């Protein structure tokens, strides 16, 4: 006869175990890690280009650039001055998982870096379930996407610690209400640290730079 057998195990326990090991290794090496998530085209790569261009002189940053296909983003980050860039091509998978990060870290000398930036696959749904061992998630949205984005993707916005609203320079051309966007985000996550910027014009980037040097919530 069939018996009911208690399992009580997280479905992603395998991923979480690997993520915990990554987190421990990064902390042992005093490395701060950020996982950048957004829809495709919100400006993750642009933000990272700017950030490594500015911080790269003083802080050694390791970069893991995830994409479904191509190493284009990784190449952009190298061109922007990223010395330690590891591309991860998922070959169709819609998110990065901890195993991919663990593999990417295999040939990355952790003693040489002080920060690790992970650029996730452009997707606001799937990456929310996967812990990569990062200290915090940074979620980007841009003014061309609509101010209700946080309401549409609550899981991702709830799990992120920082929100960036990018492409401020396009604000005059969009039906985007900044105050509504902020309120929508704070309804989901009252502790959000919010930055407004334009990676294109540089507007708002100074505030971001001074925070990201020593990111704390």
Partner 1 sequence: MHELAIAESIIKTVLDEAERRNLGPVKKIAVRVGALTDVVPDALRFGFEAASADTELEGTKLEIKTIPVVGKCRNCGKGFNVEEHIFICPVCESFDIEMTTGGELDIEYIEADDRSI
Binding site for partner 1 (CB under 8 A): 1-15, 93-95, 97, 125-126, 128-129, 151, 153-156, 158, 186-191
What gap in Å lies between CA 161 and CA 104, rounded to an integer? 24
CB nearer to partner 1: give 50 or 95. 95
CB of 32 to partner 1, least distance (A): 24
CB of 130 to partner 1, least distance (A): 8
Q: In what order do the strands lie in the sheet with 84-89?
A: 84-89, 61-67, 115-119, 32-38, 136-142, 162-166, 193-196
* Paired tokens of 8: 């009580």
CB nearer to partner 1: give 1 or 107. 1
* Paired tokens of 52: 């490594």
CB of 122 to partner 1, least distance (A): 14
CB nearer to partner 1: give 148 or 206. 148
The DSSP letter of residue 36 is: E
Question: Whose structure tokens read 């061992």?
Answer: 133
Q: Report whether 98 contacts 130 (CB < 8 A).
A: yes
CB nearer to partner 1: give 1 or 28. 1
Q: What separation in angstroms does the CA of 164 have from each of 6, 27, 199, 217?
A: 42, 25, 11, 14
CB of 6 to partner 1, least distance (A): 5
Question: Whose structure tokens read 């700017």?
Answer: 50
Question: For residue 59, how far is the Cα from the chain centroid?
Answer: 18
CB nearer to partner 1: give 6 or 57. 6
CB of 157 to partner 1, least distance (A): 9
């Amino acid at each position: 006869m069939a018996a009911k057998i208690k399992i009580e195990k997280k479905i992603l326990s395998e991923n979480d175990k690997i993520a915990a090991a990554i987190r421990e290794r990064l902390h042992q090496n005093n490395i701060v890690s950020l996982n950048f998530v957004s829809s495709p085209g919100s400006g993750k790569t642009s933000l990272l280009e700017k950030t490594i261009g500015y911080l790269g002189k003083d802080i050694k940053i390791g970069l893991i650039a995830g994409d479904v296909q191509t190493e284009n983003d990784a190449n952009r980050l190298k061109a922007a001055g990223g010395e330690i860039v590891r591309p991860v091509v998922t070959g169709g998978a819609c998110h990065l998982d901890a195993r991919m990060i663990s593999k990417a870290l295999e040939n990355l000398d952790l003693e040489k870096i002080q920060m690790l930036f992970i650029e996730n696959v452009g997707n606001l749904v799937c990456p929310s379930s996967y812990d990569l061992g990062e200290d915090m998630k940074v979620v980007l949205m841009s003014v061309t996407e609509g101010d209700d984005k946080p309401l549409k993707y609550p899981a991702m916005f709830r799990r992120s610690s920082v929100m960036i609203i990018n492409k401020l320079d396009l604000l005059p051309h969009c039906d985007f209400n900044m105050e509504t966007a902020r309120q929508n985000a704070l309804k989901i996550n009252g502790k959000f640290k919010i930055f407004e910027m334009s990676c294109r014009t540089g507007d708002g980037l100074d505030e971001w730079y001074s925070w990201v040097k020593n990111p704390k919530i």
